[in-house]
Chain A
Amino acid sequence: MKDALSQTEEIVAQGKKLGADEVIAKTTFGKYRQARFSNNQVDITVAWNDYVTDVVFAWKKRVVATQVHNFQDADAGLRNLLKLAKVSKENPAFAGFAQGNFSYAQSKADKKLANLETPSEYIFEAIGAAEKEAGVKVECGGILFTKYEDVYLASSDGPVGVDSRSAVEFSIRAFTEREASGHGVECSSTLKSFKPARAGAKAGRVAKLARNPQMGEEGVYDVIFDPLILGSLLGIWGGMTSAYSVLVQQSVFADKLDKRVAPEIVTLSDNPASYSVADRVFDDEGVPARENVLIDHGILKTYLHNSSTAKVFKTRTTGNAGIIAPNPWNVEMGPGDMSKEELFKEVKNGLYLTNTWYTRFQNSAKGDFSTIPRDGIFGIEEGEIGKSLKDLRVSDNVLTMLGNIAAVSKERQHVHWWIEADPPSLAPYVLIKNVHMTKSK
């Protein structure tokens, strides 16, 4: 490990020697494994190893970057970068990389995930759980993914750090009928807390309830969002707190700092916590990654920053670099004080949505969007899950929905799924009032 760090530091030193004002190099040795399955059988098992050093080079406010895949190629890569910088243009918004000598938390990555070579037993365990819960034959598909990365970062501005990052993610969709399905996910940074059968059982349970769906009706509903679909929304809301999104007019949160954007019961944070599949100890500038409260009891408290966006907003980095754009790592919604069951009892006549996909905006500054619920869609009648529905679409507005959050559950789940619930989140069940649902005509 020391070799990789010292070689990364050498790249930084060489960049400085060549004339760079600032250099950051981040070396990642990544081992990734994935098994994909469908129709209850493994379709393909995949391994990919990646060795890369990302180098960012600043010269007279010109920012250029490259990747080095072999330390022997570093010198040539740096010389090319310098040439590129000299013909490049000044970036007036570039405010330099983070400066300082930071100490970092100890990485809690799980080394077992570096060597998990026989993952299919987890898949069959989850399929079995889905089938047991559904009580009938199910067709299941999904993925099991593991990640183990060793990361070495060095910056000419001071930060030097080593991190290891691990994750195991499982996603399973179970079908009891052609149009009756349920989806479960299980995500963890360690193998010890990883229970794929939980995801399978949930998929099977929802798929059982989803049988014989009827066409849903357009209207305005009180809707309970399952953690999986809320995870999709949290990813979008979290992304809109990036200062870069605000700068480029792709956020509903522009001009809303210290203003109310949600009711008192809503607290949103970004937290690269140790349980998360996005766990990390530093950002891409080497600033310690930390928890940031974004919305505190309904009041927007901060955007997410790197050093350059922080300067624009006259504040300090939040440890969320991206060199160009800051990003959320893991969006958490604070727990409410109701149980899931109590939350359902709040709804006399409404809907329960379990998952969604394909969220698209008409205008991300205004927040008008639609998204298509998939897997179980259920009516709620007098607090109980009722008939199974299909073919409905949420067609609403981000700020309106945030403002209409009426209740939040105590229970929360760590959620990350494909590109639809990304970045990862810690999501409760929430009740949102007056949600507009549309359908095909």
Chain B
Amino acid sequence: MPSACRLCVQGWTRMDKEIVDYALDYARGKRVNYAETRASSQQQDRLLLRDGNLEAYTSAVDSGFCVRIIAGGGIGFASTNKWTREEAREIVDQAYKYAMSAKRREKLVFAEEKGVKTEWAVEQKEKIENVPAEEKISAFVDVHKALACCGVKVVATVAQCSVDLITKYFVNSEGSQISSFVPRIGASVFIAVVEQGKTEQASEQFGFSGGWEAFSVWGVQEKMVHDAKVLKAVITGAKHVKPGEMDLVCGSEVTGIAAHESCGHPMEADRILGREMSQAGRSFIYEGGPYWLGKRIGSEAVTVVDDPTVGHSYGYYMYDDEGVKARRRHLYEKGMINEFLHNRESAAKLGVNSNGSSRSINYDREAIVRMSNTFLLPGELSEEELVEDVSRGVYMKSFTEWNIDDKRFNQRYVGREAYLIEKGELAGPVARPVIETTTLKFWTAVDAVSKNVEFDAATCGKGDPMQGVPVFTGGPCIRLRGVYVK
């Protein structure tokens, strides 16, 4: 846990809890319905390597605090990275003024929560702060070396690694006082392969909450060498699929992105209520529309959850950024629309309690409704059994291009590693198969689910200014019957 000292400047944390408490007390002195102050200190290390050469190493501490106030039916928010009482008063005054000037017809309130006093932290087996910079650099140099001698012409490699030691302190006018510490590591590797004068590309993202043990958990070298060989095989030997209706087996990476895009996002209550209407968009789910709680959106085999409590996951937290305890949310339950993701603002509007889905990337951004780790629950079949029962189809293990419309209904996934299936057996690589379909058709077509869940790290974008939050996507392999693949 972070030091309890009043002002910690220990290389990797800068946090003055007394000023945070002071800001809250100062806010309470005004006619507020609610006030909170949230501070964070992030020791951020960044490595960027191109073709095995370190381009830059950045190391910095970003710390500051914000205040959010509900008063007069509006919400005001202000933040600073100056740790002074004068600055604390200034941002409280500003947030209060903003809240009072909102002049809303519908007064904003938060769903009720009890105050919580607690501390929580993510354990590290191998403390990141004790791992020398040279070791981190070497780990990624070795990835390049492995790619250079894997028998594939890899013409570009870009590797990035981020290490964040995140200390937070949250207090609100309802008595909450929560301290937390999360060490978080992320990485991404991009490769470009050229064979026979043709090019293919792949990128992978890795993420972990915990210590440097993450690097061995990820298996970056093996994964990137595998990708390089797959790209070579696509260039040198892949056929194109003859477009038409067929069965499609999706690997966990494809299942995961579909769960994230066409279940997690449309189930965000702020989106459903229109609060993101101008940027991230709305949802095909809305009150009075064809899709709402209790309506069918997929087959019985489809249960998608969002769960921030998955140990050491990239999207891990025990309490969200409004001080609400985290728990698993069953978004689609056996094919039915079941539970939205809520923060306290959206929950109040729909007459429920928050389910702890409020996240912010830093002290200077408001907490909004976000996913954490979104994945399909497993079934009982093996991956082989899914394939065995397909007479003609495609096995799409991973994807390149993907997107979805802003109501989260029309989506497209283009395969990166993919194989034809003929008479229950894999029959060679297939080049960039495409499924372009609706959320309803995709999830309704699922007839079988494998028993092994795998996760991929991703950065989920939402909010204005953009807040990219770390998440897991994932799931088992799934089999879709009779979908159009081109």
The chain A residues found within 8 Å of chain B, CB to CB, are 34, 36, 38-39, 41-52, 56, 62-67, 69-70, 73, 77, 80-81, 84, 87-94, 117-118, 120, 139-143, 171-173, 175, 178-179, 183, 247-250, 323-324, 357-366, 368-372, 374, 391, 393, 395, 418-419, 438-441
Q: Which residues of A contact B95 (CB under 8 A)?
A: 47
Name the CB-closest residue of A to B94. A47
Q: Which residues of B contact A360 (CB under 8 A)?
A: 401-403
Name the CB-closest residue of A to B194. A249
Given contacts A66-B59, A440-B436, contact A362 B77 (CB under 8 A): no
Cβ-neighbour of B190 out of A67, A70, A248 (below 8 A): A248
Please provide the chain B residues from 389 to 428 with a CB less than 8 Å away from any CB of chain A in the complex.
400-407, 409-412, 414
Please provide the chain B residues from 267 to 293 with a CB less than 8 Å away from any CB of chain A in the complex.
273-279, 281-282, 286, 289
The 18 sampled A-B contact pairs (Cβ below 8 Å) are: A38-B273, A45-B75, A46-B76, A47-B77, A69-B82, A84-B59, A87-B133, A89-B53, A89-B54, A91-B55, A120-B101, A141-B274, A171-B278, A173-B277, A323-B56, A365-B192, A372-B403, A418-B464
Name the CB-closest residue of A to B100. A45
Is the Cβ of B277 less than 8 Å from the Cβ of A120?
no
Bound CA–CA A69/B44 (angstroms): 14
Bound CA–CA A324/B61 (angstroms): 20
Which A-B residue pairs are the 8 nearest by beta carbons? Answer: A45-B98, A141-B277, A249-B192, A358-B403, A67-B60, A141-B278, A441-B484, A89-B54
| 13 extra A-B contacts, CB within 8 A, seeds A42-B103, A173-B278, A358-B403 | A48-B78, A49-B79, A89-B137, A89-B141, A92-B53, A323-B56, A361-B400, A362-B401, A372-B404, A391-B410, A393-B436, A440-B441, A441-B484
Tell me if B201 is interfacial: C-beta within 8 Å of chain A: yes
Is the Cβ of A439 less than 8 Å from the Cβ of B401?
no
- Main secondary structure on A side of the interface with B: strand
Total number of residue pairs linking A and B with CB closer than 8 Å: 238
Tell me if B134 is interfacial: C-beta within 8 Å of chain A: yes
Given contacts A47-B95, A364-B201, contact A374 B406 (CB under 8 A): yes
Is the Cβ of B82 less than 8 Å from the Cβ of A49?
yes
Tell me if B80 is interfacial: C-beta within 8 Å of chain A: yes
Q: Which residues of B contact A366 (CB under 8 A)?
A: 199
Is the Cβ of A38 less than 8 Å from the Cβ of B436?
no
Cβ-neighbour of A45 out of B76, B79, B406, B414 (below 8 A): B76
B10 → chain A, closest Cβ, in Å? 11
Is the Cβ of A363 less than 8 Å from the Cβ of B400?
yes
Q: Which residues of A contact B50 (CB under 8 A)?
A: 93, 247-248
Name the CB-closest residue of B to A203. B278
Tell me if B295 is interfacial: C-beta within 8 Å of chain A: no
Q: Which residues of B contact A41 (CB under 8 A)?
A: 102, 104-106
A372 → chain B, closest Cβ, in Å? 5
Bound CA–CA A357/B87 (angstroms): 38
A247 → chain B, closest Cβ, in Å? 7
Bound CA–CA A52/B345 (angstroms): 32
Bound CA–CA A16/B14 (angstroms): 26
Bound CA–CA A171/B281 (angstroms): 13
Q: Which residues of B contact A50 (CB under 8 A)?
A: 81, 364
B204 → chain A, closest Cβ, in Å? 15
B483 → chain A, closest Cβ, in Å? 8
Bound CA–CA A123/B106 (angstroms): 17
Is the Cβ of B56 less than 8 Å from the Cβ of A64?
yes
Is the Cβ of B134 less than 8 Å from the Cβ of A87?
yes
Is the Cβ of A51 less than 8 Å from the Cβ of B82?
yes
Is the Cβ of B155 less than 8 Å from the Cβ of A46?
no
Tell me if B376 is interfacial: C-beta within 8 Å of chain A: no
A169 → chain B, closest Cβ, in Å? 10
Bound CA–CA A391/B81 (angstroms): 44
Name the CB-closest residue of A to B138. A89
Given contacts A64-B59, A141-B278, A418-B466, contact A91 B403 (CB under 8 A): no
Tell me if B48 is interfacial: C-beta within 8 Å of chain A: yes
Please provide the chain B residues from 116 to 157 with a CB less than 8 Å away from any CB of chain A in the complex.
132-134, 137, 141, 155-156
Q: Which residues of B contact A143 (CB under 8 A)?
A: 278-279, 464
Is the Cβ of A361 less than 8 Å from the Cβ of B278?
no
Is the Cβ of A52 less than 8 Å from the Cβ of B81?
yes
Q: Which residues of A contact B60 (CB under 8 A)?
A: 65-67, 77
